[in-house]
Amino acid sequence: MVHVKDDGIFDAPIDRIWKYMNDEQAHQHGSFRVTKVLEEKGNAIVAEAKLGNPDGTFNVEKVRMVMNPPKGYDFEYLSGPMKGTKHSHTYTPMGHQTKVVVEGEFTVPPGMTENAVRKNALDYFAMVFEEDNSALKKYK
């Protein structure tokens, strides 16, 4: 497992972030798409998701997301190459901005190095952050 931690500042207040995250039409990503919700229980969902790889291909993996608004959410890969990977996203309101800290333990799939996993995770989080931050600036 590889420990990864990153953070960023969204140009949006916490209430807008949660409204956006719960708006399936607005909250879209190029490298992550829920294709089928398998189970909903309380504040948790288990879903099949299509996840992008650095080479442009996609994997279908089963994931669990546990939403804990407004504090954050937890994410776990239940199947696929990243099975066992877990990361948490923690939000800190800062008036008209919101800080997010992402921290987790990432599985090292066969054929990859720890450094490659760390780089891919940080690159993925940077891309998703930019997609969300850009969308949040326009989202009302």
Name the residue ranges covered by the structural domains of the chain: 2-138
Q: Could you tell me the pLDDT band of residue 56, with boundaries at 50, 70 and 90?
A: confident
Residue 59 Cα distances to 19, 35, 63, 69, 135, angstroms: 28, 12, 12, 28, 25
Mean pLDDT of the chain, nearest integer: 94
Give the pLDDT confidence score for residue 93 in this predicted structure: 97
Lowest mean pLDDT: which of 52-61, 87-96, 128-137? 52-61
Q: In terms of pLDDT, which residue wins out, 4 or 81?
A: 4
CA dihedral 76, 51, 1, 83 (to 10 degrees): 60
What pTM does this model have? 0.90
**DSSP symbol at 1:** -
- 2-138 CATH pick, 3.90.950.10, 3.40.50.12280, 3.40.50.300, 3.30.530.20: 3.30.530.20
The contacts found for 67-76 with CB under 8 angstroms, 24 or more apart, are 67/21, 67/43, 68/43, 69/18, 70/14, 70/15, 70/18, 72/100, 75/104
State mean pLDDT over 113-118. Answer: 96
Give the pLDDT confidence score for residue 5 in this predicted structure: 97
